[in-house]
Amino acid sequence: MGMFAGKKGLILGVANDRSIAWAIAKQIMDEGGSCGFSHLPDRPDDERKKNRRRVAKCTDNYEAAQFLVPVDVTKDEDIEAFIDEGKKHFGQIDFLLHSVAFATLDDLKRDTIATSRDGFKLAMEISAYSLMAVANAARDILSDQSSILTMTYFGGEKCVPGYNVMGICKAALDAAVKYMAFDLGPQGTRVNALSAGPLKTLAAQAVGAKGMESLYAQVSPMGRNITHEEVGRNGAFLLSDMSDGITGEIVHVDAGYNIMGSPGRLLDTIQ
């Protein structure tokens, strides 16, 4: 029996088989858990339903993947429909994974101070507020020993040039985790964030993370970057009963990059 045997939960944010959310969900299902999934809504004129198809290509291979529905996190009715689907299939849920972030390419390419007003509102709504909105909608179906996990990044703690407005959104998300941990603690729900090092995902391409994997490999204490599998295992741990007693934390899975106060061994290559 795996550590998720009999456990049920919801996964938001899988885009394809390289998504961090999929690495975590796959680990959960391999350990006996059952999951309900969201996907980005497809445009009405997209007959191929590309967003759904990319996620279904992952979930169709797992009996433990119970359903797949479109969710636009800027719409309360979509969030409520997703939670209702979870209630219909599972009754209560034991875990909730939030791996959702967005900013327009135009705003990401600008200097942070030049972010458009509407772009800032949209980025903050999707990347930070949506965690609170989803958790609030799910509050009544969370079991009395449940866990919520969101995905963050070091750019919310320190300035990472190129991450720009998304860094501000992640800082807000990190703060939300702490306040939500306080709100939901009395009912037995824990709330944490996982800060992963750079991986090849659609999200990483969008924020211009090219070259970051090599940088992490040269600077991190472990002398390498991390893998999807490592993030999957640690994310699953934080959503499992094995991490009881941990809440309000930002857990870094980055081979130790975040602890460095200098470029470390990379200095040896600088003449």
- Look at residue 201 and tell me whether its pLDDT is greater than 70: no
Q: What are phi and psi of 253, to 5 degrees?
A: -120, 85
> Residue 167: inside a domain, yes or no?
yes
Active site includes 62? no
Alpha-carbon span 260 to 216, nearest angstrom: 11
Contact in structure between 160 and 207 (CB atoms under 8 Å)? no
> Residue 69: inside a domain, yes or no?
yes
Residues 22, 23, 25, 31: is their CA dihedral positive or negative?
A: positive
What is the predicted pLDDT for the residue at 152? 98
- Look at residue 207 and tell me whether its pLDDT is greater than 80: no
Q: What percent of the chain has pLDDT over 90?
A: 87
* Residue 257 in tokens: 């990059």
> Residue 263: inside a domain, yes or no?
no
DSSP code per residue over 92-152:
SEEEEEE------HHHHHS-GGG--HHHHHHHHIIIIIHHHHHHHHHGGGEEEEEEEEEEE
What is the predicted pLDDT for the residue at 124? 98
Find the catalytic residue in 62, 163, 216, 257: 163
Q: Look up the domain containing 162 and give its range.
A: 8-254
Q: pLDDT tens, 28-83?
A: 999 999 999 999 999 888 778 999 999 999 999 999 999 999 999 999 999 999 99
Instruction: For residue 206, name the pLDDT band (cuts at 50, 70, 90).
Output: low
H or E segment to which residue 78 belongs? helix 76-90
Q: What CATH number is attached to the domain comprising 139?
A: 3.40.50.720
Q: For Cα atoms 44, 138, 178, give the angle at the middle one, nearest 5 degrees.
A: 110
| Listed ranges 68-77, 215-224, 262-271; the one with the highest mean pLDDT | 68-77
Alpha-carbon span 150 to 193, nearest angstrom: 5
Give me the chain's average pLDDT, please: 94
Q: pLDDT tens, 113-128?
A: 999 999 999 999 999 9
What is the predicted pLDDT for the residue at 210? 63
How crowded is residue 145: how many other Cβ atoms within 10 Å of its Cβ? 13
> Residue 81: inside a domain, yes or no?
yes
Residue 224, C-beta contacts closer than 8 angstroms, at least 6 positions apart: 216, 217, 255
> Residue 13: inside a domain, yes or no?
yes
Alpha-carbon span 240 to 237, nearest angstrom: 5
What is the predicted pLDDT for the residue at 271? 58
> Residue 125: inside a domain, yes or no?
yes
> Residue 177: inside a domain, yes or no?
yes
Range of lowest pLDDT (128-132, 151-155, 162-166, 206-210)? 206-210
Alpha-carbon span 145 to 97, nearest angstrom: 15
> Residue 269: inside a domain, yes or no?
no
Which class for 189: exposed (0-12), middle (13-18), buried (19 or more C-beta within 10 A)? buried
Active site includes 257? no
Find the catalytic residue in 153, 179, 216, 257: 153
- Look at residue 203 and tell me whether its pLDDT is greater than 80: no
| Number of domains present in the structure of the chain | 1
H or E segment to which residue 189 belongs? strand 189-196
